[in-house]
Amino acid sequence: MCPPTYTTSNFKASPNRYLYTMSRCSVSSFDLGCAKTTNNIAILLVVDRMEHLTEYKLAVETVNCYARMMGYIHKVIVLDPDLDTIKIDSEEIDPVQEIMEAEKAEKVLVAGHGDIGVVNPHNHSLFDYIQNTNNSILYIFYNRIFNWEISSGSYLARNTNYSRQLLSYWADYFYRLPNSFHGSDNGAIHAVFMDKFTDKTVKNSCNYLWQKSRSFSMLFDYEACVRHNLGINREIYEEIEENTGAILGRITILRKGRSWVRDSGWTASKVSRNDFMFHGWKTSTMNKPVFNPWVFPFNDTTFDTEKCSAQSTRVHELEEDDQWTLKAELIVNQTENENILEKLINKTQMDYSERVTKLKLIESVVH
């Protein structure tokens, strides 16, 4: 087996950005090369600087290993560090749209930030999240557990014209962000939902909160206003063509605790059989008292990518002594983690209700 390597190619549409493709052998641009892919799924991870590949080393290696075992394509997008704009996360959206355009043969793309890693591949498949939704659903987003945000950190998209157009619309918010504490791509996705999935009479009703935001708390005010206008319980969103009434596209937001990824810190990195991917794996924050803390979860001191074979080892056949073996003290039963997360969800519901009351909105039910 040859070790993971990086290959680089310029984006034609954006010559200042570069794409690094990780695979089992040297390949060119968008060609996986040495492993036949299945399910037409591509995983895209976005990193804003080349040196951050070291910062996200474990996350990138685990996703790459998982992709190779499942026969998925895995691409790491690295934005050119010479760009003045790379610190604005919405800039990360545009190259994903470019790859979707170039890779139309891939039916589903899973996009995510570079600090998302696989902690427990056993009995988990990204394809299951696609199969469990109606074919008319073109995007799958999810609710963050600790607040009422629509997460921009990871999402699944069917590679259609509508999906690419919506992603481009989202990316264009980079040029429309207010001069405020705007939340970059995460703030912008809420603006996109207001533009696309609310009545025109309320589309701009939360903008004043976004424009005056100066802190996370004020940003959360804006997002609470958005979720109130969208309907906090709403799971299916349809964009309607104004003149004809035709449905242009459908999107879903998974309920709290139902997605493929979550922050590891809320359960102190404890893992149960339901857990699949963890967010927040940055080398600089490992074992540190920070927001969303995490510890190295595996039994071995390093993650052995040499044990990652393409498709010859299916996830459900992994041996107990493989590179995915978790530290014993981190393994808990499903109920223990669910109880912790349920308490957090209940607290979030109360916080949301208080926020809605403070903003003098008509309170709606959260769950």
**3 state DSSP class of 304:** coil
Q: Is residue 364 part of a domain?
A: no
Of 133, 74, 159, give the one whose Cα is nearest residue 258: 133
Tell me the percentage of the chain whose pLDDT exceeds 70: 77
Q: Is residue 366 part of a domain?
A: no
Q: How far apart are CA 252 and CA 158, in angstroms?
A: 12
> Which is more confidently placed, 330 or 136?
330
pLDDT in tens, 153-169: 999 999 889 998 999 99
Q: What residue type is 67 in one-letter code?
A: A
The count of domains in the chain is: 1
Q: What pLDDT score does 123 carry?
A: 82
Residue 363 lies in a domain: no
Domain assignment present for residue 311? The answer is yes
Q: Are 68 and 37 in contact (CB under 8 A)?
A: no
Domain assignment of residue 353, yes or no:
yes
Alpha carbon of 267 to those of 85, 263, 271, 275: distances in Å? 35, 9, 8, 11
Assess if residue 325 is contained within a domain. Answer: yes
Q: How many CB atoms lie within 10 A of CB 198?
A: 18
Q: What is the pTM of this model?
A: 0.82
Report the alpha-carbon distance of residue 62 to residue 114 in Å, rounded: 11
Give the tens place of pLDDT for each residue, 28-72. Answer: 222 222 344 456 888 988 777 777 788 999 999 999 999 988 888
Average pLDDT (184-198) is 95
In this prediction, residue 48 carries a pLDDT of 74
Instruction: Answer whether residue 113 is part of any domain.
Output: yes
Cβ distance 152 to 191 under 8 Å? no
Q: Residue 286 in 3-state DSSP?
A: strand
Domain containing 113 equals 5-358
Whether pLDDT at 181 is above 50: yes
Query: Does a structural domain hold residue 321?
Result: yes
